[in-house]
Structure 1
Amino acid sequence: MQLDNRAQTLLKALVERYIADGQPVGSRALSKISGLDLSPATIRNVMADLEEMGFVSSPHTSAGRIPTPRGYRVFVDTLLTVQHGDIASLESKMQALNGHNPQQKIITNAAQMLSSLSHFAGVVMTPRSESVFQQIEFLRLSEKRILLVIVAPNGDVQNRLLLTEVDYTPAQLIQAGNYINHHFAGLALTEVRQRLQGELSQLQNELSTLMKAAVQAGSDAMEDSGDEVVISGERNLLKVNELSSNMSSLRQLFDLFEQKTGLINLLDMSSRASGVQIFIGGESQLVPMDDMSVVTSTYQVNGKVVGTLGVIGPTRMAYERVIPIVDITAKLLSNALSY
């Protein structure tokens, strides 16, 4: 539905004032802050039209009005002016996102940074990528017990204990490790498993069995490593008045954090779109709360989208601040994880 310039200006002024102080905005206040030369009576008529169209509502406790999720949507899509002025300071605060740390540490740092800068909850879906390895090593612990060490290209290390039917000698373990590293380093373990089926027939059967078991265990280890989604700053939402005063909303929100399924589905859905995505109120279907919004963006590894990150906060959030925080964090995380 198209709004004329006067209605757009008044809606923008109302949303910005409500985001700033959380109080219903009256006609007299709008006449002062909108910059329009309109009488309070004219403004009341425009507000009545906006309310009839579903963009604002009137709380029963006040004559002022507040934006609805539909009003926020119009504001975000057509009226918002994003603040890019503090990008340099944001980047300087995000030095923790560097490629010298293990991947899981970088992911955790990103979630903490999103939370710290937005003052809400930061979430990062861990990368969904093929389990590529750089090196494999076998260490004999005792008879028929072998420690499998898998090193990923980004430096992450995963360990798995292999219980074997054969007591392999140190020389055999070195031979098996050398064979896998020489022929398959840098490939996805799923691809290695397929190629092993046809390439190991000429090797000793004992080593063939060991290497197949190692590749399967390595694939499982890398897929199981870390949480699917890292969350930081959930308790920040307890400081938001409209949330902390509603126990039903709080309970629903923390159920979402605890179970994570809906959150993962939302982040996964966001990964199919490019750029910053904004879900207001119950728009996402997966976070069905009118007083909550989610701002997300995808991030990449070596040019390929592998995950999503974002900020979860109240619908009454300063979108002009949160959007660049999410956007810049996604870019910095992409740089930190690429190799």
Structure 2
Amino acid sequence: MTSASITELNDRARDVFRVVVDSYLATGAPIGSRTIAQLSGLNLSPASIRNVMQDLEELGLLAAPHTSAGRMPTDSGLRLFVDGMMQALEPSAEERAAIERQIEQAGPVEQAIAATTAALSGLSACAGMVMVAKRDLVLRQMSFVTLSADKALAVLVGDDGSVENRVIDIPLGLPPSALIEAGNYMSAMLGGLTLVEARAKLEREMADERAALDGAARTLIERGLAIWSEDADRRPVLIVRGQARLIDDTAAADLERVRELLDDLEGKQEIARLLDSASAGDATRIFIGAENKLFSLSGSSVITKPFRGLDGRVVGVVGVIGPTRLNYARVVPMVDYTAATLARLMG
């Protein structure tokens, strides 16, 4: 069974095919020839429509869930519709404002990204997701708090107001004064620097013996900077919002599909790989159903769009995950607009 191109369909086949797809995107259910004849205004008899639908099925564009049902588009049929027949709808002023509003909020960049992703999820009725490269954190202040004889909590405040905590190992018998000294030194001498710059400056001052630190405080600072640098290099920031929106009335009738989809979303490492693969080039990419191995079992669609910083480099990818029957004409431009908004935020 091979899939056709749009040029292979005559006008009658295109009209019937569009009605089937529009009905499926609206309801998630198959539609029969009699219903099409009654509702579509095509001026075709049910028998003529059945013949056309049979031809479309042989081309791999439609399928019948079971023998007594009508027809619904296959993944190949949806791909043909999206690539050759869909007319995109620009986001409304209200939708654009809802997305734009998030970048005006004060606070850490990751908070604004999360809010923008949540807004996209709400507007698209899908799960929103965004992956960005870990930004170079600029230090403002750092302190250490003893947790136990061999553990301390390192608290780092970034220049953007973000606060992060890490548990680090400390030597047994370390005096409390060493923790205070280490925190004071980092805040006074390394404030305003990125992690990379802070480590380089510390190494220079130690090499020149200009760092007025005892050995214990020096060890704390080195361990604190090392663990943050390792975390920053290990993985990009991945935010997924709105998983609950994937459980609509249609999905509730297929709980196994929903379970598969939510399990897929929990595997964030796999999502990160998918988004990373979508970062090449500038075009919006649409994965429909089995076209994407990650979500093939749950029969979901993924729409992604990379966005760039001021230097022209790709700094992240934004997208949505939803059922194959999502409103592509509306959601694709919405993802595009969100990508442009995040590009300004990250610029």
TM exceeds 0.5?
A: yes
Give the counterpart letter for 1:262 in structure 2.
E
Q: 1:180 to 1:146 in 2, by over 3 A?
A: farther
Residue 213 of structure 1 aligns with which residue?
223
> How far apart, in 2, do the equivalents of 1:129 and 1:120 lie?
25
The equivalences for 1:112-123 within 5 A come to: 112-123=118-129
The alpha carbon displacement at 1:79 in A equals 0.8
SS at match of 1:286: helix
1:48 to 54, 57, 61: 54
Distance 1:231 1:88, change over 3 A: same
Q: Which residue of 1 aligns with 2:299?
A: 291
How many angstroms does 1:301 deviate by?
4.6
TM-score (norm 1): 0.80
Aligned to 1:202: 208
Aligned CA distance change for structure 1 residues 47 and 277 (closer, same or farther; 3 Å) = same
TM-score, length-scaled by structure 2: 0.78
Q: 1:331 to 1:197 in 2, by over 3 A?
A: same
The residue number in structure 2 matching 1:266 is: 274
Shift of 1:66: 0.8
Offset of residue 251 of structure 1: 2.2
1:291–1:217 distance in 2 versus 1, CA, 3 Å: closer
Q: Which residue of 2 aligns with 1:323?
A: 332
Q: How many pairs align?
A: 329
Q: Determine what percentage of the aligned residue pairs are the same residue.
A: 33
Distance 1:122 1:198 in 2: 44
Closer, same or farther: CA 208–13 of 1 in aligned 2, 3 Å:
same
- 1:158 Cα deviation from its structure 2 partner: 2.4
Describe the SS at the equivalent of 2:104.
coil
Q: Is 2:179–2:220's contact at 8 Å kept on the other side of the alignment?
A: no
The 5-angstrom pairing of residues 128-147 of structure 1 reads: 128-130=133-135, 132-139=136-143
Q: Which amino acid aligns with 1:81?
A: Q
What secondary structure sits across from 1:308 in the alignment?
strand
Runs of at least 5 residues in structure 1 that lack an aligned partner in the other structure: none
Measured after TM superposition, the shift of residue 149 of structure 1 is 4.8
C-alpha deviation, 1:148, in angstroms: 4.9
Q: C-alpha offsets along residues 172-230 of structure 1, whole Å, 9 cap, x if unaligned?
A: 75455444347xx2x4x3465467545631124747545433321332465689x9533
Distance 1:212 1:15, change over 3 A: same
Tell which deviates more after alignment, 96-105 or 201-210.
201-210
SS in 1 for 2:24: helix
Structure 2 match to 1:235:
244
Quick check: 285-294 or 20-29, which moved more? 20-29
**Secondary structure of 2:89 counterpart:** coil
Structure 2 residue 261 is the aligned partner of structure 1 residue 257 = no
Q: Distance in 2 between matches of 1:253 and 1:81?
A: 28
Instruction: Pick closer, same or farther for the CA change 1:152–1:276 going to 2, 3 Å.
Output: farther
Q: What residue ranges of structure 2 are gaps of 5+ in the alignment?
A: none
The reply to whether residue 93 of structure 1 matches residue 136 of structure 2 is no
SS in 2 for 1:76: helix
Secondary structure of the residue that 1:249 maps to in structure 2?
helix
Q: Is the 8 A contact 1:137 1:148 kept in 2?
A: no
What letter corresponds to residue 64 of structure 1 in structure 2? Answer: G
Deviation at 1:234, TM superposition (A): 2.2
Change (3 A) 1:58 1:140: closer
CA contact (8 A) 1:150 1:159 kept: yes
Task: Give 1:17 deviation, angstroms.
Answer: 2.1
1:69 Cα shift? 0.6
- Residues 138-177 of structure 1 aligned to structure 2 (within 5 Å): 138-139=142-143, 148-152=154-158, 154-160=160-166, 163=170, 165=174, 167-168=177-178, 174-177=184-187
Determine if contact 1:98/1:336 at 8 Å carries over to the other structure.
Answer: no
Q: Residue 29 and residue 107 in structure 1: after superposition, are their counterparts in 2 closer, same or farther (change >3 A)?
A: same
Decide whether the 8 Å contact of 1:298 with 1:309 is kept in 2.
yes
Offset at residue 49 of structure 1 (A): 1.9
Letter in 2 for 1:315: T
Contact 1:99 1:337 in 2 (8 A): no
